[in-house]
A and B are shown apart, each in its own frame.
Chain A
């Protein structure tokens, strides 16, 4: 158990809908990262927050947004969903912003868009 908690574990929704994925980082970690992993695809970095502020942005679509709250939990919002958005979405956390910190992953939220 990495200490990173993600909910929900599984989600099935229709195209055009909006969903919110939730992540609680490990105790004491200030950075939260979101990754997408499609079937047979590698881990794609979406976005990082550090202590409530956006720190880095990767290949995140404009239909997707995220935020980190004062209690350090984070939410990833996915809107106008398309079939291609079906994937495993992982949250990870680390103590600091970057610079050699190991990041620890949650078990993921499996999103299926039908």
Chain B
């Protein structure tokens, strides 16, 4: 069965304190790994899609990387507005997305 886990469950950072979020997956035939940001009571907002091991993508203070077993979302010099829940999802074979439980990030000023 396809599984996605994320760690840590929650993370508190000071503004400017860089860190990484982890997404570990167990799937057969990965077709894509997706990162979303979700603010409370809002819909998930698409950030990145990664398709193969070694791939990296960047957007502002965020950088996503992918290996054969996990993905990292690196946050460089975060700001309070980066506070949100970050969701990872995988899509494998002909199956639908499997979402991880998310990491709740709080960035304190």
Contact = CB atoms under 8 A, between A and B. Distances in A.
Contact of A102 (B42, B46, B95): B46
A45 B45 CA distance: 17
Given A98-B31, A99-B31, A2 B46 contact: yes
Interface stretch (B20-28, B56-64, B68-76, B99-107): B99-107
Interface of B: 31-32, 34, 36, 41-46, 49, 51, 87, 89, 91, 94-102
B96 A58 contact: yes
Give the residue among B91, B97, B101 with the most A Cβ atoms within 10 A.
Answer: B97
A90 B43 contact: yes
Nearest to B34: A102
Given A33-B96, A43-B87, A58-B96, A100 B31 contact: yes
Contacts of A90: 43-44
Contacts, number: 61
A13 to B, nearest CB: 19
Give the residue among B46, B96, B99 with the most A Cβ atoms within 10 A.
Answer: B96
Contacts of A105: 36, 43-46
A25 interface: no
Contacts of A99: 31, 91, 94
Interface stretch (A14-22, A68-76, A78-86, A106-114): A106-114
A108 B44 CA distance: 9
A99 B91 CA distance: 7
B36 to A, nearest CB: 8
Given A98-B91, A100-B51, A102-B49, A42 B43 contact: no
A45 to B, nearest CB: 5
Contacts of B87: 42-43
